[in-house]
Amino acid sequence: MIDVEDLIALVKNYNPRCNSELIRRAYAYGAAMHEGQMRKSGEPYFTHPVAVAAILTEQQLDDATIITALLHDTIEDTKSTYAEVAKLFGEEVAELVDGVTKLTNLQLSNTESQQAENFRKLFMAMSKDLRVILVKLADRLHNMRTIKSMKPEKQAQKARETMEIYAPLAGRMGMQWMREELEDLSFRVLNPEARNSIIRRFLTLQRESGDVVHQITADIRTVLEKVQIDADVYGRAKKPYSIWRKMQEKDLAFSRLSDIYGFRVICASVADCYRILGVIHQRWRAVPGRFKDYLSQPKSNGYRSIHTTVSGRDGKRVEVQIRTREMHEVAEAGVAAHWSYREGVRAKNPFAVDPAKWIASMTERLDEGDHDEFLENVKLEMYSDQVFCFTPKGDVVQLPRGATPLDYAYSIHTRIGNSCVSAKIDGIRVPLWTRLKNGQSVEIITAEGQRPQASWIDIVTTGRAKAAIRKSLREEDRGRFVRLGQELARAAFEHVGKKATDKALRTAAKMLGMPDEVELLAALGAAELTARKVVETLYPELIQHGPDEVESARAVIGMPDDQTFRRAPCCQPLPGERIVGITYRGQGVLIHAIDCPALEEFEEQPNRWVDLQWHAGRHAPVNTVALDVAISNDAGVLGRVCTLIGEQKANISDLRFTERKPDFYRLIIDVDLRDVEHLHMVMTALEAETDVAQVSRHRDMTRKP
């Protein structure tokens, strides 16, 4: 473990005016708080915060960030409190430590809905002070470097979380070195055979062709010396995961893979950058389509560089990055460059991006009302590369790679996107799904009365465009949802012998905390509320099973009276079907249909099987079954489908669209049924409807108990 004086020396290397006494006190306080705590490896726990602090000194960060690293686990894992940290080290440090603690408690690899909400919290914490995420990234980097002491299943979970969230986030912040190391450490856990295979190929290549990096570096230095340009040249082989990803994306064998080596030329000025580019292109043949100028069009995280790929020694392709020293500092530190110190003062790097503006660009115009959309948009932003296009007036529009003219239209203005009917690229009319390329000029053609189509969701790439299209579709669909809600309410009320009058719906809306009956009907039609819930709110006594029905809690024969059971969500067995039970300790019995594929995993555990059968008699209509239905995309069809289901005395408990095409919709309808005969009646009624193209029972084998 690094002792306190060595840590202070690391800080003083770039900040001689640092508050060494405060760092000393934080070190002593952290060591005392973690006294007696051990890591999985058997080392004292405090070795971890010290290592995190040391990683942050490499980025030349301020005293508050270094002290936060030393204390980042104290509030969560020790008797320390926010108030105590604030009293001893100031409010700034306490806020940062508290922010890191909250990030640590976010389970980012949770279910989709929870993950979306946690992503929102992650960005809220980042927007408050971006240094929180810098500490968290350093924390994750050290944990990944020492992950071997964890159990294999825990290693895999942490590696997946790192690969999906923390590595892309580091890259999006411009900290490419950290992204590469996090990816490679995760790759080592998730696919060690592939990683070892790449390394073995590298060793073989080196034996066959010698030290290519040293040879090409020397070649570049020689041509620059001839034209008297002062520059530093560095070369390296790319990381195993970077090579593996390229092999997967391009479906290439290692032997056919090009540009597995990367070189950087770092010089004094922008003018030298372009001179060096000319010299390199004169000496080696440039590879067409592999040139990017991030000097004139920098990335949103402040990254500036010229990228070119050339055919170098023996025809090997190599990528060369050319940048100034100040640009290189930002390329290494990314957004963190905003806080870096040099010689005791905050470094005034003109290329360092403003963290507040960067966060704003990440979260701009995200639809606050839909967590799944937020998650989708954030991931799109984090993983995106960029293309640069021109407006007819010559202005530059920056978009993620894979963007289409529709993305371009929405980036100009939502109104332009909504009314877009076609586009021209370099003067030639193209389909709206065309993928844009660097340097193209784009012109959008609009028409009054045009509205976004549901199929546009699959065409666009940017989060902003997806959110705008969904918002427009929701507004356009509102009237249809209200009409559908009326049909659902009518069928549900008739099912219990009542009428869905305006007064009844108004009363239900008030009891459910909604402003009026129109909002209630819209929520019903959009499947945000079930008709059963509305009826139950007004007439709870009518929802209960009748005196001649089998009691739901005793619907199955073959178990002790005190044992509980649940229907398996994968096969959703119904009374009338052959069933078998699987016991779960402390959770009762899970009932499967006898032909459910999920039973295969229990073949070697016969002691968990229970022979069961349904109780004879009339069962309550409380057994939910999912139906996969394809219907024509015409006015009134969905309403008729819901009416047909209601006429069979079946309640729709949920409804969700899986496909929206110009000519048909595909949806999953959850229907509450009595038994398998009831299911047959509902499906027969739907199959007889002209505008219903297909009906089948939907079984989702991915759903776990």
**CA–CA separation, 472 and 451 (whole Å):** 8
The two structure tokens encoding residue 704: 């776990």
Question: In 10 A of CB 624, how many CB atoms?
Answer: 16
Distance CA 449, CA 148 (A): 61
Which of 6, 21, 43, 76 is labelled catalytic?
76
Output the CA–CA distances (angstroms, integers) from residue 623 to 552, 626, 638, in the order listed: 9, 10, 23
Residue 700 a catalytic site member: no
Question: Is 535 within 8 Å of 653 (Cβ atoms)?
Answer: no
> Is residue 180 annotated as a catalytic residue, yes or no?
no
Q: Which two tokens stand for residue 239?
A: 């990381």
CB 457 within 8 A of CB 370: no
Measured N-to-C along each axis, helices 240-250 and 176-190 cross at an angle, to the nearest 10 degrees, of 80
Task: Pick the closest to residue 133 from 302, 358, 377 (CA basis).
Answer: 358
Neighbours of 411 (CB within 10 A): 18
Residue 477: which residues within 8 A CB-CB, separation 6 or more? 526
Is residue 417 within 8 Å of residue 402, measured between CB atoms?
Answer: no
**Given 3-state DSSP classes, what are the helix, strand and coil percentages for the chain, each rounded to the nearest 5?**
50, 20, 30
Structure tokens at 468: 């705008």
**Beta-bridge mates of residue 493:** none
Is the CB of residue 94 less than 8 Å from the CB of residue 86?
Answer: yes
Helix (H, G, I), strand (E, B) or coil at 303: coil
Catalytic residue among 43, 58, 77, 84: 77
Which pair of structure tokens corresponds to residue 227?
């034209």
646, 492 Cβ separation under 8 angstroms:
yes
Active site positions, annotated:
76-77
